[in-house]
Amino acid sequence: MKAWRALVVLSFLLLSGCLVTFKEPIPANEAAPIPLLGVWSRVDEWGELRYLDIARAGSNLYKADTYVDNPDNVPSVQSYSFTVAHHGRRWYLSAGVPKRMGANFAIGGFELTQTGELVLFNLDVERIRQAIASGEIKGSDVSMPQGGVLVTSKLDKVFAYLNDPANSDLFVEVARYQRSAP
């Protein structure tokens, strides 16, 4: 169960037990905003203090380590590599999905608020299914233990759809972090 909690913490993998994945990752063409880097914390839905430590892992590549209590709590550490992109008014992040979950890529959103919080967003699975059914983007349901959707449209079309003001409710807030003292 703790592995699933870590996935929820990063927000870009699960929503209501279903997963939205993409054939293409966000390319490593853009740098993340500097304030994103560092250690963040929050109390999760289970009452556990969670940390999210975001650092550079290469040129426009980033690594997020999540853990409970402290980084020495080795069994709780989960690491994720990701890339970012800024399109329209939104920041996006993209991470590889484990093979058992389809081995594609998840995309989520994030915001750095004026009050210094990091807010993570997930895609609404049902709204993405509706967009596929109406032909706005291409994709299909996929067979996974949790169920899910695979979006096969090119990223430029996906970002155009996600950035359309009419689709502002596609993203659902799943976590809110505060800057943590080092």
Q: What is the mean pLDDT of each run of 10 residues along the chain (182 residues)?
A: 38 51 91 95 88 94 87 72 89 85 84 93 91 94 75 93 89 92 63
Which residue type sits at 87?
Answer: H
Structure tokens at 134: 């109406």
- Asked if residues 160 and 31 have their Cβ atoms less than 8 Å apart, the reply is no
Residue 173 CA to residue 122 CA, distance in Å, equals 6
Note down the domain range covering 97. Answer: 2-179
Pinpoint the alpha helices (H) of 78-145: 125-133
Is the pTM for the entire model greater than 0.95? no
pLDDT of 89:
76
pLDDT of 70:
61
pLDDT of 6:
39
- Report the number of distinct structural domains present in the chain: 1
pLDDT of 14:
39
CA atoms within 13 A on the CB side of 56: 9
Whether the CA torsion 75, 81, 82, 83 is positive or negative: it is positive
pLDDT of 146:
64
